[in-house]
Amino acid sequence: EPDLFSKNYFSNHFKWDNDFAKEKWFMLGGSIGADKWRFEAGYNLVRINDFVYFDTKGLPSQTSGVTITSAFVQKEFKLGRFYSTNRVVWQAYDNKEAISLPNFTFFSSLYFEYELVKKVLTARIGANVFFRTKFYADAFSPATGQFYNQKTKKIGDYPIVDAFADFKWKRAVIFLKFDHINQGIPNNEYFSALHHPLNRRIFKFGVSWIFYD
């Protein structure tokens, strides 16, 4: 059932009174993998009839339907004390007026793990990389607090690199992290939505402690 906000709204800048039909969802997916080879692959298909979305004017609208197809491959590598986890996601869709997604998304984590004190203290140092191809990311309307479609500018093709070090002592983890360490490299096109940049380079530290029940 479309939410009440998309059906009825009145303010200084916007007003609408819609009689939307219920959305109908069909989802099909599956995956296959082997722990021995540290490998996994999967496929997903989603069909949404009477899909409700916010159009380029920031107004709720309903289309006959949208189909989204995606597939992923994930592989982990181990060489001595070096570990690497890599995941690639492919996406395709048929209704480009109602939705926009990056065709490819890539994530990779490379780290070195070493036991400083046997069975007591383990150190892990490495970096994560996230990348997605260009697409028309949603814009944001402060007047309604909603993200909506835009066809003005594509964002993407920008790698986000985080460096980290953590130390696991029994059930506690002390972590140090440098988010977006590559800020401005290769360019300054780091946006999460139209005109909304990602966080700048920032250093974080803390403790994660899992208590017994």
What digits encode the pLDDT tens for the residues 21-63? 999 999 999 999 999 999 999 999 999 999 999 999 999 999 9
Mean pLDDT (whole number) for 62-66: 95
pLDDT for 211 beyond 80? no
Measured between alpha carbons, how far is 53 from 66 in angstroms, rounded to an integer? 11
Given a contact cutoff of 8 angstroms between Cβ atoms, the answer to whether 113 and 83 are in contact is yes
pLDDT for 212 beyond 90? no
What local confidence, expressed as pLDDT, does residue 16 receive? 95
CA dihedral 128, 39, 167, 80 (to 10 degrees): -100
- Residue 170: pLDDT band (50, 70, 90) is confident
Measured between alpha carbons, how far is 97 from 150 in angstroms, rounded to an integer? 9
Given a contact cutoff of 8 angstroms between Cβ atoms, the answer to whether 95 and 53 are in contact is no
Given a contact cutoff of 8 angstroms between Cβ atoms, the answer to whether 125 and 162 are in contact is no
H or E segment and range at residue 117: strand 104-117
Of all residues in the chain, the percent with pLDDT exceeding 90 is 88
> pTM for the complete prediction?
0.87
Mean pLDDT (whole number) for 128-145: 95
> Euclidean distance between the first and final Cα of the chain, in Å?
39
Which one, of 165, 170, 172, lies nearest residue 208 by Cα?
172
- In this structure, of 47-56, 106-115, 183-192, the range with the lowest mean pLDDT score is 183-192
Which region holds residue 119: left if phi is over 0, alpha if psi is between -120 and 50, else beta?
A: left
The mean pLDDT of the chain is 94
Mean pLDDT (whole number) for 81-90: 97
What local confidence, expressed as pLDDT, does residue 213 receive? 62
pLDDT for 119 beyond 90? no
Residues in the chain: 213
Which one, of 145, 137, 141, lies nearest residue 197 by Cα?
137
Cβ-based neighbours of 141, under 8 Å, separated by 6 or more: 54, 58, 147, 148
